[in-house]
Copies of this chain bind each other. A is one copy, B any other.
C-alpha cells in the first residue's frame, strides 16, 4: 500500500469518529426537554399550558440541533478536500469536538434562564460557545488548507479559496451575537438561529455555483 492510501484510511476514521460525536451531541440535546411533572402541570393550568410555557426549551433545542447539524454538513464538506491527516489536524479537530460536545450545557442554560432576569448571561455563554466553535472551525480549515498542506492532490484552488472566504464570516457574526446578548437577549438568540439557517443556505449556494463541475 502506498503512503497516500494509508493517509486516506486515516482521514476516514477521523471523519467517522467526528460523525459519531456530532450525532451523539445532537441526540443528547433532547435529554434537556423534560416532561412537566403532573403536579406542576396541574398547578400551572393544565398540561397544554405547561407545555406551551416550556417554549424557551424548544427554541434552544431547535437552535442547537440546527447549529450542530450545519456544523456536521460543513465538517463533511471540508473533509471532501482534506485527504491527509497528522497530529495537529487531530488536535484541532479534537478542539472542535470539545466545543460540539459542550453545546448541551449552554443550551440548557438558555432554556432555564430565558425567562429569568439573568437571561443576558445565559445568552452570552450560548453565543460565546458558538463563537468558539466557529473559531475552531476556521483554525482547522486554515491549517489544513494553508499552502495546500493536507488537501487532496486534485483540490481545486478556486473552491478552496471560496470556502476560506465564506467561513471567515462565521466568527464575525457569532461575535456580533455575543455582543448583542448584553443588549437584547431575544436578538442574540434569534441571530444564532438565523445563522444556522444562513449557513445551511450558503452551503446550498456554494454547491450550486461552486462545487459541481459544469455539465454534471
Interface residues of A (CB under 8 A from B): 1, 3, 6, 10, 13, 15-17, 19-31, 33-35, 37-38, 41, 46-48, 51, 62, 65-66, 69, 72-73, 76, 80, 86-88, 90-91, 94, 97-98, 101-102, 104-105, 108-109, 111-113, 116, 118, 121-122, 125, 154, 200, 203-204, 207, 212-213, 216
With A30-B105, A31-B104 given, can you name 16 additional A-B contacts, CB distance below 8 Å?
A: A3-B212, A17-B23, A20-B23, A35-B111, A35-B112, A37-B112, A38-B113, A38-B118, A46-B121, A47-B122, A48-B118, A48-B121, A87-B200, A87-B204, A87-B207, A88-B204
Tell me whether B24 and A23 are in contact (CB under 8 A). yes
Q: Give CA–CA (A33, B24) in the complex, Å.
A: 16
| Complex CA–CA separation, A55 to B182 (angstroms) | 23
14 A-B residue pairings within 8 Å (CB atoms): A3-B216, A13-B15, A16-B16, A24-B24, A24-B28, A26-B97, A29-B101, A47-B121, A48-B118, A62-B98, A66-B94, A73-B90, A87-B207, A91-B200
Which residues does chain B contribute within 8 Å of A29, judged by CB atoms?
101
* Contact in complex: B47, A118 (CB < 8 Å): yes
Q: Is B73 in contact with A87, judged by CB distance below 8 angstroms?
A: yes
B contact residues around A104 at 8 Å (CB): 30-31
Known: A33-B105, A204-B87. A20 touches B28 (CB 8 A): no
Indicate whether A17 sits within 8 Å of B6 (C-beta atoms), given known contacts A30-B104, A101-B27. no
* Residues A28 and B25 in contact in the complex (CB < 8 Å), given A65-B98, A80-B6: no
A203 to B1, CA, bound (A): 23
Task: Name the residue of chain B whose CB is nearest to the CB of A87.
Answer: B204
Q: Which residues of B contact A86 (CB under 8 A)?
A: 204, 207
Q: Please give me the residue from chain B that is nearest to A21 by CB atom.
A: B23
Question: What's the minimum C-beta distance from A206 to chain B, rounded to whole angstroms?
Answer: 9
Give min CB distance, A80 to chain B, whole Å.
7
Closest to A28 in B: B27
Q: Which residues of B contact A65 (CB under 8 A)?
A: 98, 101
